Amino acid sequence: MFFECELEYDDQIERWNGCIKRIINYGSHYEIFIESRSSILVLFGSSSSGGFACIPDFQAGCYLTNLNNKFWNTEKLVAVLGKVDGTTVASALHKLFQKCIF
């Protein structure tokens, strides 16, 4: 599944593409593998405190809101992954929401 990413800074917009290569439903959480500027494995799901994302290869994780709220999720993911990778993961999750996968 292909998706587009967009990052705005200094009155410029940078765009790049990404692809979700694998989706696995474990029942309690999901695993996706993203190929973009980096290869990123993401585990995500719900907890009593809301949604979460864990990116083990980056030793990072954070809480998420509804996957449709791309702005809020981008803010949280950028804080733990950096601008490009955080934007990429948030864009991938938003695409999954749009396709009604979750």
At 20-30, the pLDDT tens digits run 999 999 999 99
- Residue 10 pLDDT grade (very low, low, confident, very high; cuts 50, 70, 90): confident
What is the pLDDT confidence band of residue 101, given thresholds at 50, 70 and 90? low
* Alpha helices for the chain (secondary structure H): 70-81, 83-98
Nearest CA among 59, 24, 56 for reference residue 42: 56
- According to the model, what pLDDT value does residue 33 have? 98
Percent of the chain scoring above 90 in pLDDT: 80
Residue 102 has pLDDT above 90, yes or no: no
Helices in 4-82 by DSSP H: which ranges?
70-81
Q: Is the pLDDT of residue 49 over 90?
A: no
